[in-house]
Amino acid sequence: DAGVTQSPTHLIKTRGQQVTLRCSPKSGHDTVSWYQQALGQGPQFIFQYYEEEERQRGNFPDRFSGHQFPNYSSELNVNALLLGDSALYLCASSLEGTSRPLHEQYFGPGTRLTVT
Amino acid sequence: GEDVEQSLFLSVREGDSSVINCTYTDSSSTYLYWYKQEPGAGLQLLTYIFSNMDMKQDQRLTVLLNKKDKHLSLRIADTQTGDSAIYFCADPNSGGYQKVTFGTGTKLQVIP
């Protein structure tokens, strides 16, 4: 049983470009949350997707958008990249959205995005 | 808003006990959490404590919760070099983890 997978592992982009990160949830999970972890910081919640809709959002600008597909996989898109977007982007999956406790959420290994 | 604070760095000798501390400003969460992150890796759930408990022990790990002082600690007994990592406490607030706040992390260095 595969856990949460993310691709790519590493990515280097130039300021102003756009990037798409991908996440496949753990088998049986239907909810995907995205986090940004800047260097030396704890993860910060970006948003959560359930039933192909964004349910909750953290304090991130509209440049950050996402999508969830019918197979529950998800994409995180970031437009007009800034140097400050350089971070580890973590995806986490769980079952049934907001009602589940945190310990039923599983994290992927992350995508390291570097913006130059 | 919610604020979760941790000391940035802790250095201990192999075999000693490590104590990592965390304070939070507001919590109505049912659980509070400790995560471990090794270099280049994602987050690994280490342990958690139910909010009506004062202490939870899980093998070498002991979690202490002082709700009055809003203080959470993680004690690692007989610390090993493999315990070297960054440790994050996390407070999901109302229980919906879309609102989870992570601390800034404590880097634990274990000296052989």
A99: chain B residues, CB-CB within 8 Å: 96
Can you give the pLDDT at residue B24? Answer: 87
Residues A53-67, mean pLDDT to the nearest whole number: 92
B90: chain A residues, CB-CB within 8 Å: 42, 102
Can you give the pLDDT at residue B99? Answer: 63
Q: Among partner residues B30, B43, B44, which is closest to A101 by beta-carbon distance?
A: B30
Does position A32 have pLDDT exceeding 90, yes or no?
A: yes
SS3 content of chain B, % helix, strand, coil (to 5): 5, 55, 40
CA dihedral in degrees (B43, A64, A83, A19; nearest 10)? 90
Q: Length of chain A, please?
A: 116
Percent of chain B with pLDDT over 70: 91
Q: In whole angstroms, what separates CA A53 from the centre of its chain?
A: 14
Q: How do residues B18-69 score in pLDDT, each as one tens digit?
A: 999 999 886 677 788 999 999 878 888 899 998 888 999 999 999 999 999 9
Does position A16 have pLDDT exceeding 90, yes or no?
A: yes
Give A44-108 as a DSSP string. EEEEEEETTEEEEE-S--TTEEEEE-TTS-EEEEE-S--GGG-EEEEEEEESSGGGS-GGG-EE-
A40: chain B residues, CB-CB within 8 Å: 104-105
Percent of chain A with pLDDT over 70: 93
Nearest-CA neighbor of B13 among B88, B85, B105, B108?
A: B108
Can you give the pLDDT at residue B39? Answer: 84
Across the strands, what pairs with A92? Answer: A33, A107
Residues A6-24, mean pLDDT to the nearest whole number: 97
Does position A1 have pLDDT exceeding 80, yes or no?
A: no
Average pLDDT, chain A: 92
Can you give the pLDDT at residue A9? Answer: 95
Does position B94 have pLDDT exceeding 90, yes or no?
A: no
Does position B97 have pLDDT exceeding 60, yes or no?
A: no
